[in-house]
Structure 1
């Protein structure tokens, strides 16, 4: 296994991690901004008001995008890692 192959596999794995985590992080960001604006407009400073909707929305997005995440990981392992392990 060459150094170039290790770096290329690591780069692909990190890019896959970014693609998989992007939907959850974007939903958390949007929910945080919307709830923050709502809190600023209404002067309600309740900690659970930020936590519960954000976690609920993230769970929904995780459930909806679970197929995309699983397919990406399975493809990466099947096409990249398993042949490298089996080959050398």
Structure 2
């Protein structure tokens, strides 16, 4: 039977991996949103839908570029922590 401490360690590592994987996409959305917002403030353009397309393009491109990193992080997490826990090792 797995102890409470081990389960908390696995959950903490899973949350760390989730933050690590989502960080590039969220940072791309943040940078794009702030830059578009600054552009809107400087030019007095008050269009609410202007940020959607550039933010979507930036997020998709960063997601595509970092897909290998995300996949490798998940594979490492499952191979080193989850699968040995299921197998009882």
Above 0.5 in TM-score? yes
What stretches of structure 2 of length at least 5 have no aligned partner? Answer: none
Calculate the aligned-residue CA RMSD, in Å.
0.9
Aligned partner of 2:74 in structure 1 is 73
1:47 matched to 2:48: yes
Question: Whole-Å Cα distance in 2 between the matches of residues 69 and 47 of structure 1?
Answer: 32
- What TM-score comes out, normalization by structure 1 length? 0.96
SS of equivalent residue, structure 1 residue 85: helix
Query: 1:47 Cα deviation (Å)?
Result: 2.3
SS of equivalent residue, structure 2 residue 45: coil
Runs of 4 or more, structure 1, over 2 Å off, are: none
SS of equivalent residue, structure 2 residue 67: helix
Alignment of 1:49-64 (within 5 A): 49-64=50-65
Query: 1:48 Cα deviation (Å)?
Result: 2.3
- What TM-score comes out, normalization by structure 2 length? 0.95
Question: Whole-Å Cα distance in 2 between the matches of residues 55 and 48 of structure 1?
Answer: 12
Q: How many residues align?
A: 88
What stretches of structure 1 of length at least 5 have no aligned partner? Answer: none
